[in-house]
């Protein structure tokens, strides 16, 4: 067996070790390379920045713990920005398995910003029905969520003053890890009830949402950990996402090097096979 053949059949545990080191070392010894801000992320940031105080922002945390590494920092950054701007935050989730995590993150950021539940923010929780919940909220928010996550009646809460349906929401952001997520919020929400919509998603999903972005159906898109890092840089509060970018940089470069090596060995073998073929 030639060297190229042996390298192509390399034990996958070696690759695992390379990836593990590329993830671990930058986390232990961060480099802190500068992060360029994209227009997509700036779209969400600029819109929130332009909102007057006490405007209502709806944040739909449509993800579960599997997507926590990418979407949790996005949610934290948006919440910090919204609370800093003194906006009223209405949070909810369309994913039942994300309910506890959404409540925990909202409470954490609200406490850190000195905001009060019921007055400055509310967590509506989860309701069955998927996309039907969006339509129902568009028709009558109190019908879709008669009580919040803490079983407190939603009607009469100061944070929801003047809000009867999605039509009264100034800006909505869906942080989605699948369906229902950003696309569902556009199709069943924005299209009919005419509110401005922004999106956030995992890195894998981002290319699929570019058509919505380019046509103005969403006014901004925060894609994956990179998007979260950009948002953290914009609000000037660097957190988990910025810390994770070095690790992501190293793993991306490692995968590129691995792919380049694999192709180099592949072409070496192919050339050898051709030469042997022409000799015989």
DSSP run (H or E) holding 155: none
Structure letter (DSSP) for residue 38: P
Nearest to 75 by CA among 144, 140, 35, 121: 121
Cβ atoms within 10 Å of 225's Cβ, excluding its own: 23
* Smallest distance, another protein to C-beta of residue 152, A: 13
Nearer to another protein, 57 or 109 (CB): 109
Which of 19, 51, 235, 243 lies at the binding interface for another protein (CB under 8 A)?
19
Nearest to 201 by CA among 189, 187, 213: 213
Question: Applying CB under 8 A, which part among 41-49, 54-62, 63-71, 78-86 lies near another protein?
Answer: 63-71
* Smallest distance, another protein to C-beta of residue 53, A: 28
Asked whether position 25 contacts another protein by CB under 8 A, the answer is no
Asked whether position 101 contacts another protein by CB under 8 A, the answer is yes
Beta-bridged to residue 222, according to DSSP, are 200
Asked whether position 51 contacts another protein by CB under 8 A, the answer is no
Asked whether position 113 contacts another protein by CB under 8 A, the answer is no
- How many CA atoms lie less than 13 Å away from 220 in the CB half-sphere? 26
Whether 153 contacts 180, CB under 8 Å: no
Nearer to another protein, 10 or 273 (CB): 10
Beta-bridged to residue 199, according to DSSP, are 174, 221
Nearer to another protein, 87 or 220 (CB): 220
Structure letter (DSSP) for residue 168: G
* Smallest distance, another protein to C-beta of residue 17, A: 10
Which of 51, 196, 254, 268 lies at the binding interface for another protein (CB under 8 A)?
254
Which of 2, 5, 6, 16 lies at the binding interface for another protein (CB under 8 A)?
16
Nearer to another protein, 15 or 50 (CB): 15
Whether 201 contacts 232, CB under 8 Å: no
Structure letter (DSSP) for residue 147: B
Written in H, E and C, the secondary structure of 54-88 is CCEEEEEEECCHHHHHHHHHHHHHHHHHHHHCCCE
Nearest to 49 by CA among 219, 212, 177: 219
Binding marks (x or -) toward another protein, 153..192, rule CB under 8 A? ---------------------------------------x
Contacts with another protein by CB under 8 A lie at: 8, 10, 12, 15-16, 18-20, 23, 33-36, 38, 64-69, 97, 99-101, 103-104, 107, 127-130, 132-133, 135-136, 139-140, 143-144, 192, 203, 206-208, 210-211, 213-215, 224, 226, 245-246, 248-256, 258-263, 266-267
């Amino acid at each position: 067996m030639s060297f190229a053949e042996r390298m192509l059949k390399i034990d996958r545990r070696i690759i695992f070790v390379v990836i593990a080191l590329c993830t671990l070392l930058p986390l232990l010894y961060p480099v802190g390379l500068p992060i360029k801000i994209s227009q997509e992320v700036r779209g969400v940031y600029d819109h929130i920045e332009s909102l007057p105080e006490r405007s209502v922002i709806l944040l739909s945390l449509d993800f579960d713990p599997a997507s926590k590494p990418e979407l949790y920092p996005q949610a934290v950054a948006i919440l910090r920005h919204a609370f800093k701007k003194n906006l009223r935050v209405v949070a909810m989730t369309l994913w039942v398995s994300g309910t506890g995590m959404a409540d925990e993150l909202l409470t954490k950021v609200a406490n850190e910003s000195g905001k009060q539940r019921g007055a400055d923010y509310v967590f509506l929780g989860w309701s069955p029905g998927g996309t039907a919940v969006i339509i129902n909220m568009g028709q009558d928010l109190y019908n879709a969520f008669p009580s919040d996550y803490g079983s407190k009646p939603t009607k009469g809460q100061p944070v929801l003053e003047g809000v009867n349906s999605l039509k009264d929401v100034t800006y909505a952001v869906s942080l989605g890890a699948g369906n229902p997520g950003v696309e569902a919020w556009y199709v069943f929400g924005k299209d009919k009830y005419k509110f401005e919509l922004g999106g956030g998603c995992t890195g894998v999903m981002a290319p699929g949402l570019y058509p919505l972005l380019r046509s103005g159906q969403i006014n901004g898109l925060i894609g994956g950990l990179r998007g979260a890092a950009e948002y953290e840089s914009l609000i000037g509060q660097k957190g988990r996402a910025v810390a994770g970018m070095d690790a992501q940089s190293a793993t991306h470069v490692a995968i590129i090097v691995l792919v380049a090596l694999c192709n180099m060995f592949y072409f070496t073998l192919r050339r050898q096979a051709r030469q042997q073929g022409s000799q015989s």
